[in-house]
Amino acid sequence: MIRSLVLRRHPERAPWKKGVRDAPSREHDGEAGPLAFFASELRRLREQAGWSQGRLGQEIAYSVGLISMVETARRTPSLDFTERCDQALNADGVLIRIWPMLAYGALPSRFRPWVDIERQAHTLRGWHPLLVPGLLQTSDYARTILQADPEATDERVEELLTARLERQTLLTNDNSPPLWTVLDQGVLHRDVGGPEVMRDQLAALLAASERRRISVQIVPREAGATGGAIAGMEGGFFIAGVEGSLDSVFVESAAVGQVTDHPRDVAAICKRYEAIRSVALPARAGADLIAKVMTRWQQT
């Protein structure tokens, strides 16, 4: 059993604070936040254009109610909303450049240190026994998971979804780190959102596995209670390799994930990862299994 993990480094960094005049944040009273800044910029650009909220709504095909909620920092806008506003208001990319900062600010504060680490990582390895990891989730799959939180409002679900999808851009830029993902076969069969959502999610997994810097492996049911399979029964985790620094791990839990770079903890997690990976199918065989299960979901 790995001892209790604690956050040892990577204090929270607020990227929107650099060169940006701060505005109140909903998460920390009196502390600056990107959502309020985005709201004020959108309102400033709209008024500068001499448009009402109704006129903007007509131009971008979004409701006045949503525009009002965004302008009062009560709703985190989607990337599509942001791009349409930026284009309609001739903002020259101002809103689009703020949006990633806004998505970061919507993340739970305890998770931001790990996102900072991900952005610096030159390798990412993960074991996921219950769900497809956030970096590879479709929007419908992710929304279903976020909606399962009984305390999450519709607005909060959309905020978190926006942040999760923005986080995925880590894997689409020119300097994206290699991602090695190992999933339990049960993830492919676990109904999250219904057959259509599952078909789309497995199709997205297949597409991801064909990308040069992403590997998806599956631990089959046949692995049973072998040593490697047993090693994965205590929960999921991520390992980030950061050049010129200690590796870090993020251990998942139902309530609070934990981040550490303590050598003893990292070594234990790395050994566990290799034990799990030793019983996983090769990537090609794993892709064939994903395709087979996807066909079953199509028939449901």
Domains observed in the chain = 15-106 (1.10.260.40), 109-298 (3.30.870)
pLDDT exceeds 50 at position 178? yes
pLDDT exceeds 60 at position 283? yes
pLDDT confidence tier of residue 246, bands split at 50, 70 and 90: confident
Spatial CB neighbours of 132, under 8 Å, sequence gap ≥ 6? 141, 183, 187, 201, 205
Structure tokens that stand for 196 in this block: 């259509």
Nearest C-alpha neighbor of 84 from the set 108, 118, 106, 60: 60
How confident is the model over 130-140, as a mean pLDDT? 96
Whole-number Cα distances in Å, 135 to 12, 128, 163, 244, 261? 20, 12, 11, 24, 21
Spatial CB neighbours of 253, under 8 Å, sequence gap ≥ 6? 235
**Structure confidence at residue 231 (pLDDT):** 67
Whole-number Cα distances in Å, 88 to 8, 45, 99, 291? 45, 10, 16, 42
Beta-sheet pairing, 237-241 with 214-219: unpaired
**Structure confidence at residue 148 (pLDDT):** 93
pLDDT exceeds 50 at position 62? yes
pLDDT exceeds 70 at position 146? yes
How confident is the prediction for the chain on average, in pLDDT? 85
pLDDT confidence tier of residue 28, bands split at 50, 70 and 90: very low
**Structure confidence at residue 266 (pLDDT):** 94
**Structure confidence at residue 18 (pLDDT):** 38
Half-sphere exposure of 172 (CA within 13 A, CB side): 8
Most confident range (mean pLDDT) of 4-13, 147-156, 212-221, 239-248 is 212-221
**Cα-Cα end-to-end distance for the chain:** 40
